[in-house]
Structure formats: structure tokens, C-alpha cells
Amino acid sequence: MAKIKPSQGAPYARIMGVGGYRPTRVVPNEVILETIDSSDEWIRSRSGISTRHWASPEETVTAMSVEAAGKAIADAGITPAQIGGVIVSTVSHFKQTPAVATEIADKIGANKPAAFDISAGCAGFGYGLTLAKGMVVEGSAEYVLVIGVERLSDLTDLEDRATAFLFGDGAGAVVVGPAKEPAIGPTVWGSEGDKSETIKQTVAWTDYRDGTVDKFPAITQEGQAVFRWAVFEMAKVAQQALDAAGITAADLDVFIPHQANMRIIDSMVKTLKLPEHVTVARDVETTGNTSAASIPLAMERLLATGQARSGDTALVIGFGAGLVYAATVVTLP
């Protein structure tokens, strides 16, 4: 019986560079109020959101991803030809096949990398980061590009008072590469499919195609149920990620949760008892909920504004439709 040669990868993996792209159009709450019976004060108090970005027809999932990817690759100090894998997390690319990752890989100038899409909602970046880490350590790619990208404005029901104000568009990307020391901790991830109805697409594409419904599919959610789950259950997952990394909240420099809602973020900070020195990402205020793109976009902004620094220890956690979640501790690039 022949013996298979073991994989020859790096001992560890790290995030080497980060990049982001926000559409040029900024949409204030006043625009949302044209189609729902609410107020700017109510939207801010319930979500913390004041503005969000909506993509133009030219700012496609591919175009936004290419922009974010270019910045991440430059930040990592490598060339596109060195990218051996492209992982794209999105729920708003409307072609079932081929994977948009293949188109993005070609447009950035990568040299025949593995390329595939994943659908894990707001936890998608964490899922992609974990897969990329495995590819680098296993040896199937030296550098992997992970992209979270959404055009959620295409899936927003502007007459749904519970969700019309929540969603935004954008793309965030990171390059994952080899490291000599641990820089991406163990991932605590999972799913709770019994709660899948709390965040979902309103109807199937086939229902719209067949004329069963005349309204284009959108994302809807049970706000209170999602809030309770995120605040109580995800704080536990975040703590498990700290434990798995062998650190405590006091060892953190930065906390980057999924940018779903300011109240959820503040409640998690309180439940985790994060010290005052920990910088907390609150990008949701001006970017809205961009699902898979929210964590890398928030990470990029913290680094660009100097609120976080290279080498800082950060806890990242994503959670959303499925219900799915993923949390890990990383060293910032």
C-alpha cells in the first residue's frame, strides 16, 4: 500500500493585508423615510444607523470586489499572480453559476487560483477566513484572498418597516498568508437551523419566476428574536473564541463584531465585560449592515483611521441568517 506524502504548508497563517470599497452614493435615513412610516430618531435609536451606501448599476458585486481586493493585495505587499485561492462570501450575486470568485480572480490578474463562492450570510467572512487559514497551513495555497461583498440594496424591501433601514452595500477583502507564529486563532463556529426562519429570503426565486408572487424576493427578519439570540448566544460564542485562543478580554486591543445593529454591539460589549481600553468597531453607523462585508470593512476603517494598529489583537465575530456564526481571535495586519 502506497503512502501519501504529507502536505507541506506553513506552520501558521495570518492576515497580511486588508482593503475595502464603499459605493459612492451615501443614503441618509431621510431617503428611507420616503417609503416607511417611521422617523430618523426611531431608526437611530433602534439600530444606530444614520447613513448607508447603495451601489450604482456600475458598482456590481464583481466591480466592488475587484476594488477591495486590489487594496488588500497592495497592503499585503504581494502581487496578484501570487494569489493561490480566491474565496468570495456573498448572498447577493444573482447568477447561480459560475461562481463570481472565478470572474474576480481573472480581473485581478491572479494565475489560475482555486476560486469559489460560499453562502454563510453575515458569518461568511469568518467562514472564508477559516477556510483560507486551512489552505495556507495545509499547503494548497501560499496566499488566499478572502472577500465579503454584498449589494443588499437589491434584496431590500423598502416598504418593510422592520428592515428597510438596515442594509447597505460594499466589499471588504483580506489576504491570508504564511506566518511563523499563531496569528489566526481557532474558530468557534456553528449553526442553529431550527431558527432559520428568523432571517430569510421572503420567497424563492422560482416563486417569482413562475408568477406565484409578483414582488421581487427580499430579506426579512424577526427583529426581536434575532436581537435576543445575538446578544445572549453570540456573547457566549465570543467568550469561547477567547478561551480557544488562550486569552482573556483584558488581553484584547480591538473588538470587531458583525455590524448588524449598534444596540447588539453595545450589549455584547457589556456582556463580555470588555475593558475601556478595547477599541470597538461601530462602522454600522455610517455603513449599515453589509452582511459578509461588514467585518473586513470595519477592520479596514479602524486601521485607516488609526483607531487600531498593526499587530493589535482583535476578536472578530459574525452571525446571521441560518442561523450561523463564526468567531476567532486575529492579529491585525
Residues 184-193 have pLDDT tens digits of 999 999 999 9
Q: What is the DSSP letter of 194?
A: G
User: Per-residue pLDDT tens for 70-107?
Assistant: 999 999 999 999 999 999 999 999 999 999 999 999 99
In degrees to the nearest 10, what's the CA dihedral of 101, 102, 108, 114? 90
Cis peptide before 275 (omega within 30 of 0): no
Percent of the chain with pLDDT over 70: 100
| 223 has a pLDDT exceeding 90 | no
Mean pLDDT of the chain: 96
Q: What percent of the chain has pLDDT over 90?
A: 95
Active-site pick, 29, 53, 261, 289: 289
Three-state DSSP class for residue 317: strand
B/e letters for 67-94, b = 16+ CB within 10 Å, e = fewer, are: bbbbbbbebbebebebbbbbbbbbbbbe
pLDDT tens profile 21-33: 999 999 999 999 9
Question: CA-CA distances (angstroms) from residue 181 to 12, 161, 172, 299?
Answer: 6, 48, 25, 21
Instruction: Give CATH 3.40.47.10 domain extents, the chain.
Output: 12-180, 185-332
Q: Is the dihedral of CA 121, 125, 126, 131 positive or negative?
A: positive
Count of CB atoms within 10 A of residue 53's CB?
Answer: 22
Partners of 320 in beta bridges: 324
DSSP state of 281: -
Q: How far is it, in rounded angstroms, from Cα 205 to Cα 189? A: 29
Pairing, β 83-89 against β 114-118:
parallel
Cα–Cα distance list, 184 to 134, 177, 260 (Å): 10, 11, 23
The residue-averaged pLDDT of 200-223 equals 91
For 71, the 3-state DSSP assignment is helix
For domain 185-332, the CATH architecture is: 3-Layer(aba) Sandwich (3.40)
What are the helix (H) ranges across the chain?
29-32, 40-47, 61-76, 100-108, 124-138, 205-209, 223-228, 234-245, 262-272, 284-287, 294-304
Q: Looking at domain 12-180, what is its CATH homologous superfamily?
A: Thiolase/Chalcone synthase (3.40.47.10)
CA nearest 261: which of 302, 226, 303? 226
Residue 1 has a pLDDT of: 86
| Active-site annotation holds for 261 | no
Pick the closest to residue 15 from 92, 158, 125 (CA basis). 125
pLDDT tens profile 267-307: 999 999 999 999 999 999 999 999 999 999 999 999 999 99
258 is annotated as an active-site residue: yes
122 is known as an active-site residue: yes
Q: Which helix (H) or strand (E) element contains residue 188?
A: strand 188-191
The torsion angles phi and psi of 225, rounded to 5 degrees, stand at -65, -40
Residue 6 has pLDDT above 90, yes or no: no
Per-position DSSP letters for 212-261, written without gaps between them: S-SS---EEE-HHHHHHIIIIIHHHHHHHHHHHHT--GGG-SEEEE--S-
Strand pairing class (143-151; 83-89)? parallel
Position 3 confidence tier, pLDDT thresholds 50, 70, 90: confident
pLDDT at 8: 84
**Bigger pLDDT: 1 vs 307:** 307
Active-site residue (options: 29, 258, 261, 277): 258
* Active-site residue, selected from the candidate residues 29, 53, 93, 122: 122
